Amino acid sequence: MEPVIKANRINVIDSIRGVALLGLPFVNVLAFWSSNINLSGTQGDIWVQRFLYLFVEGRFYAIFSFLFGLGIWIFLSRAKEKNDRPYALFFRRMLILGLVGAIHNLINPGEALLIYAILGIPVVFFNKVPKQINLILGIVGVIIGSFFGVKLLLPLPLMMLGLAFGQYRVFESYIKRRKIWMMVAVLSFVVTSILVAFLWQKAPTDGLVTYMEGVELTEAQVLSNRAFYDFANLSLTFAPIFSVFYVSCLVLLEPFVKKLLLPLNAFGRMAFTNYIGQSVILVLIAMFIPGDKIVSYSVATIACLLVVVVQIISSSLWLKYFKYGPIEWLWRCGTYWKWLPIRK
């Protein structure tokens, strides 16, 4: 029994996955370096903090969840083409993902992989449900989860939505549907622009000041923090709209800048390896930060940008000689219970 390796890989999906992965470290670093990150007191740092909560927080996590649901459909479809036992393979695949997620959770509490492995089990059964129902359930679920502003309520409906997009074969004919994608991009751009103007004004002038041991917050800072939490919750409510804008723009641009997106494509193809790698790198860096050292949002953002650049370059180089990323390869071997070749 050999795994399916389809020649006509849908490159735009890897590029979207790469974009989603781009945003994750900029949010995760706030947790990894939580005891050190704080505002430096400059206006620029306040704007960087506001930018992260406005354009990054929840936006790329939503895309990743959507792609996971789409990936479920792709995996089952390709497994069925080989007359394999697709569901048995899938459950083994989720078991391995869950184990990796549980280990990863030791350094990144609340990480996504374990949650995805758990939610993937109920989602897979909806593969036999009519696509119209999955689409409706996904859209309604996203609206409800966004309305209540609870991040944990969103992955499941987003996965359902991704599964439905797979059933509709949206990305297999995305070039032929350029007019629809253009309408979505224009509409989401207009709504996103309005939301940016609205939310930017809602953010408190002084930003969010993290409490640090031995430093007492002033009454003004406490009030500013409360206002910032309200802003962050409101911003999370509209996160899926931003995600739609990001994805639709990339889908429209991809056919014209395909070669320019090759590094991003490689980055996305090694998403599993790079996701784990981001956590390891950020934790290792945190070990060398003195306990009383304050790291500004600007410095943390630059550090994450450097991490992403290094990963994009290394992913491109790696895939010149190998078929998969190292963790993707181990995951594939475990799924098919067979030692598979990795070199090209």
pLDDT digits (tens, 9 = 90+) for 248-285: 999 999 999 999 999 999 999 999 999 999 999 999 99
Which residues have C-beta within 8 Å of that of residue 89, sequence separation ≥ 6? 75, 79, 335, 336
Q: What is the pLDDT of residues 106-141, one digit of tens each?
A: 998 878 999 999 999 999 999 999 999 999 999 999
Tokens 């410095």: give the residue. 299
**Is the pLDDT score of 82 beyond 60?**
yes
pLDDT at 97: 97
Average pLDDT over residues 173-201: 94
* 234 touches 146 (CB < 8 A): no
- pLDDT tier, 322 (very low <50, low <70, confident <90, very high otherwise): very high
Is residue 78 scored above 90 in pLDDT? Answer: no
Contact 104/98 with Cβ under 8 angstroms? Answer: no
Q: What is the pLDDT of residues 21-69, one digit of tens each?
A: 999 999 999 889 988 999 988 999 999 999 999 999 989 999 999 999 9
Residue 157 has pLDDT above 70, yes or no: yes
- Model confidence at 6: pLDDT above 70: no
Query: What CA–CA distance (Å, rounded) separates 141 from 158?
Result: 8
Let me know: does 149 contact 109? Beta carbons within 8 Å: no
DSSP assigned state of 108 = S
What confidence score (pLDDT) does residue 217 get? 85
**Burial 165-181, CB ≥16 within 10 A → b, else e:** bbbeebbeebeeeeeeb
Fill in the DSSP letter of residue 293: -
- 91: DSSP letter: H
pTM higher than the cut 0.85: yes
Residue 157's closest CA among 181, 173, 183, 133? 133
pLDDT bin (cut points 50, 70, 90) of residue 8 is: low
pLDDT tens sequence across 212-256: 776 788 888 899 999 999 999 999 999 999 999 999 999 999 999
% of residues, the chain, pLDDT over 70: 97
